[in-house]
Homo-oligomer: A and B are copies of this chain.
């Protein structure tokens, strides 16, 4: 599949997700926690597949306007760590079939987003044991909720 087609499918799924689920829930005053959003598109289709980020900017503007997460948690670990944790779990999508070079580009894409927006995107060192990662997440959320309320 051409990278541009994959990019558009990602935004089609996101547009449907935002209209059908996220906006209605926010409208009811609920908090929404979402696993991956537009930062993932910059990382996977941008840095990973090589789609120019200006095209992703344009699509994000058309599809989402200024709709964006208030807080993003980036759970960061090396490709080697991810692979060893995944163990023998079967490959379930087209991304998991990619090689280490692809995931190194994706990770660099995420880290570059995080360094450009350090207040919204909080990077958490996910190479450490689960309890430490959980404690970091709790700390970031406490801080965020203090600011938000």
Contact = CB atoms under 8 A, between A and B. Distances in A.
Contacts of A6: 12
Contact of A61 (B5, B11, B58): B58
Contacts of A55: 62
B15 A8 contact: yes
A96 interface: no
A71 interface: no
Interface string A51-74: 000010011011100000000000
Interface residues of A, number: 20
Contact of A5 (B1, B12, B58): B12
A129 interface: no
A16 interface: yes
A97 B146 CA distance: 51
A59 to B, nearest CB: 6
Contacts of A9: 8-9, 12
A97 to B, nearest CB: 19
9 contacts: A2-B19, A2-B20, A4-B63, A5-B15, A5-B16, A5-B19, A6-B12, A8-B8, A59-B59
